[in-house]
């Protein structure tokens, strides 16, 4: 049986590809991600579960870049699914809590505080709500495994917001152009990059643990990355 994994970046997907674990890269496109998950549910039937995995922004101030979060979507009734409980057991140091999804990047401290107060979610990403919706539609278990790239008190600069291409690759040209227009972003952008690297390392370690336990794998050679 196959486990589908919704993620935003190709770099995230490379950490997850392997036997029984099929990454689906959204690249920030909500509709395209949902359509592709639907297609893959049929293509790889039977599908055992749908996961959301990748980088996330913190909403809870106690979370720092590199921290691991395991949980379910806010308002999801699948908080006790078998796949969620197994991941929790395999990653006992992870923070367990609800996650909220958004179709757009939440970049400001004010937005993060408001979301945390309104939803109680500890972290936010751009894929979990879509993956949870597809899982619910097909009666499949859902869980999220996310690593924190930016803290609740950290504002993302404009250059970071334009850094994602629709295919999940990094838009280096757009980032450099934004920096050229506003060089004062450099310090904040470097801080965001450092946080992202910590999150990527934590994500790879987490998926290594899951692979050793038989949940997916880390072999980069078996499945295509394109949607």
**CA–CA separation, 8 and 54 (whole Å):** 7
The whole-angstrom distance between residue 164's C-alpha and the CA centroid of its chain comes to 14
Each residue's pLDDT tens digit in the chain (227 positions)? 789 999 999 999 988 876 668 999 999 899 999 999 999 998 888 899 999 999 999 999 999 999 999 999 886 655 567 889 999 999 999 999 999 999 988 989 999 999 999 999 999 999 999 999 999 999 999 999 999 999 999 998 888 877 677 766 777 888 888 888 999 989 988 999 999 999 999 999 999 999 888 886 444 333 333 33
| Residue 129 domain flag | yes
Segments forming the whole domain that contains residue 86? 2-155+199-212
Looking at residue 185, the DSSP 8-state letter turns out to be G
Number of helices (H) and strands (E) in the chain: give both, helices first. Answer: 8, 8
- Report phi then psi at 7, rounded to 5: -145, 170
224 within some domain: no
- According to the model, what pLDDT value does residue 19 have? 60
Q: Which residues contact 115 (CB under 8 A, 6 or more apart)?
A: 59, 100, 106, 121, 124
Is residue 34 assigned to a domain?
Answer: yes
Query: What predicted TM-score, i.e. pTM, was given to this entire model?
Result: 0.88
pLDDT confidence of residue 221: 36
Q: Is residue 184 part of a domain?
A: no
In a domain, 107, yes or no: yes
Residue 151 domain-assigned? yes
Quote the number of domains for the chain: 1
**Residue 183 contacts by C-beta under 8 Å, 6 or more apart in sequence?**
none
| pLDDT, position 78 | 55
pLDDT at residue number 123: 97
Q: Look at residue 38 and tell me if it is in a domain.
A: yes
The pLDDT, as a whole number, for residue 76 is 61
What pLDDT score does 17 carry?
74
> What CATH number did the domain enclosing 24 receive?
3.40.50.1580
Q: Give the span between the Cα atoms of 153 and 151, in whole angstroms.
A: 5
11 in a structural domain: yes
């Amino acid at each position: 049986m196959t486990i589908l994994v919704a993620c935003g970046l190709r770099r995230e997907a490379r950490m997850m590809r392997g036997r029984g674990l099929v990454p689906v890269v959204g690249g920030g496109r909500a509709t395209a991600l949902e359509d592709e998950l639907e297609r893959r549910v049929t293509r790889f039937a039977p599908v055992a579960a749908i996961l959301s995995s990748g980088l996330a922004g913190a909403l809870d101030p106690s979370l720092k870049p590199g921290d691991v979060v395991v949980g379910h979507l806010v308002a999801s009734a699948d908080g006790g699914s078998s796949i969620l409980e197994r991941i929790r057991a395999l990653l006992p140091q992870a923070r367990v809590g609800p996650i909220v999804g958004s179709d757009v990047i939440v970049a400001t401290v004010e937005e993060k505080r408001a979301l945390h107060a309104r939803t109680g979610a500890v972290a936010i990403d751009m894929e979990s709500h879509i993956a949870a919706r597809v899982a619910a539609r097909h009666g499949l278990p859902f869980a999220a495994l996310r690593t924190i790239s930016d803290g609740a008190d950290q504002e993302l600069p404009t250059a970071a917001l334009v850094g994602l291409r629709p295919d999940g690759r990094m838009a280096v040209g757009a980032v450099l152009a934004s920096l050229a227009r506003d060089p004062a972003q450099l310090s904040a952008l470097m801080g965001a990059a450092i946080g992202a690297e910590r999150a990527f390392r934590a994500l790879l370690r987490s998926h290594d643990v899951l692979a050793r336990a038989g949940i997916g794998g880390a072999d980069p050679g078996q499945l295509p990355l394109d949607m």
